[in-house]
Amino acid sequence: MADVTVVGAGLAGSEAAWQLAQRGFSVRLVEMKPHKMTPAHTSPLFSELVCSNSLRGDDLANAVGLLKEELRRLGSLMMRSAEAHRVPAGGALAVDREAFAQTITDAVRSHPNIAVEERELTELPDGECIIATGPLTSDGLIPAIADACGEADFLHFFDAAAPLIAFESVDMTKAWFGSRYGKGTADYINCPMDKAQYDAFVTELAAARQAPVHGFEDAGVFEGCMPVEVMARRGHDTLRYGPLKPVGLRNPETGENYYAVVQLRRDNDEGTVYNLVGFQTHLTFPEQRRVFGMIPALANAEYLRYGKMHRNTFLNGPALLDRYYRLKSRPNVTFAGQVTGVEGYVESCASGMLAALEMARRLRGLPPLDFPRTTAIGALALYVSGGAASGDFQPMNVNFGIIERSDERIRNKRERYLKVAQRALADLDRVIEREESGA
């Protein structure tokens, strides 16, 4: 019998299984793909990136950049794969999503301490387990989780993915390569629009026909993954202050500034596939072709994957989970990933990392590690287990607002955040020293 059962081989489950196996524990990893797929997944690979291929900012003055550095220092498998398959994306860490997932899949499947079972579970495993089934937990398992939690109704919101298009179908006579303010190495394709083109585009986008999604309302979507058509309905200029903002994007050949600019980011290492940045959508497929085709450079775009929306389910973390993502009523059951209410690829990985490290300590009879609120990984877990003061718990990306403030008063925001990051890494290093010493 395995020491631990991990259910789900997404980012959180793969990281958790790997970390436990690396520490000598036998792990049974149960994953229902490819025999049963969710509405959002298309690949049999582990750690499939469903929405964007970006792990977001990579600067320490950015909270997710800090969290990534913490994961690097903790020996994250996800970060190792991300660095190996990085694609140009300015100041962000974006990856070739297939190569990224293949590397993680190969590492997990080949590990001598991990046994993979391809099947759907409908009951929680006996013994120590980590449930990392994600925001699209199967209908077969949800009743068992609800029974263990004592709550029949899970919280939920709606999430959306952006389309992918073939590079060769982009009209580069109406677009150019470049990064905002010249940062990076001209990593994005910029597709400009003048005022008349933008006005017509927003008008059609706001009125375009949506694919039916049961129970969807604009208010039920996660703010960090807002469908582009919902943004258009919030105001005519909302997109110009969001994903279509033209600031810092001047055509290097003509010197021209534009009224609005759509950016495409490379989605694979070869540069043959690009995604529309900020264009998460749940329009019907024909409407995506029609409306997005109003962007001059994309008039004849070939869609390799259309955007789509799905329901995301998550637990009421403050009521149910402790700071190690363990179920308060059943401490042998630990959750990880987006099902806990963390939002984002990096955050999901971080929850799987923390859950595995705590479980490894507990199985060895050691006290848990204290990841303090001064660290990003600790602050995220404390947010999930503590929640918002208003009681309105919602999915959360890591941010400096949940990390303990520094007493030092620094007016410059970047300098202030860098100071917080430096303190976080120093505190994390002390945690790592304790972990490595076995204390």
pLDDT of 181 reads 80
pLDDT, tens digit, 9 for 90 and up, residues 151-168: 655 676 767 778 889 898
Average pLDDT rounded to a whole number, residues 5-12: 96
- Which of the following CATH numbers is that of domain 161-311: 1.10.3470, 1.20.1250, 1.10.760, 2.40.30? 2.40.30
Task: Tell me if 4-154+315-437 shares its fold with 161-311.
Answer: no
pLDDT, tens digit, 9 for 90 and up, residues 24-43: 999 999 999 888 877 666 78
Beta strands, E only, 306-433: 308-314, 326-327, 330-335
| Domain parsing of the chain, residue ranges | 4-154+315-437, 161-311
pLDDT higher than 70, residue 221: no
| β-strand partners of 210 | 283
Radius of gyration of the chain (CA): 22
Q: Any residues with CB less than 8 A from the CB of 210 and at least 6 apart, and which?
A: 229, 282, 283, 284, 287
CB neighbourhood size of 274 (10 A) = 24
pLDDT, tens digit, 9 for 90 and up, residues 246-277: 998 988 888 889 999 999 998 877 788 899 99
Q: CATH top-level class for 4-154+315-437? A: alpha beta
pLDDT of 139 reads 81
- Lowest-confidence region among 38-42, 81-85, 294-298, 406-410: 38-42
The full length of the chain comes to: 439
